Structure 1
Amino acid sequence: PRLLKAIEQRMEQAQLRYEISGQPARVFSEFLYSTLKTWSRPRRVIAKAEHIGKANPRFVVTSLPQFDVDWKDDVTVLDAKHLYEKVYCARGEMENRIKEQQLDLFADRTSTHWLKSNQLRLWLASMGYVLLNEVRRIGLKGTKLAGAYCGTIREKLLKIGARISISASRSRYRPRIRGRSCSVWSGSGSEFLKHRPISLTPLI
Structure 2
Amino acid sequence: MEFQSLGRREVDQRIGLLDRLAACFTDHRNPESIEHSVRDLVAQRDLTGERRVREQDRGNPLAASSTLNRLELGLPESATSDRYKRIAADSDAMDRLLVDLFLESYRKPPRKVWLDLDATDDPLHGQQEGRFFHGYYRCYCYLPLYIFSGEHLLCARLRTADKDASSGSVD
TM-score by length of 1: 0.22
TM-score by length of 2: 0.25
* Higher RCO (CA-CA < 8 Å; seq separation 6+): 2
Larger Rg: 1
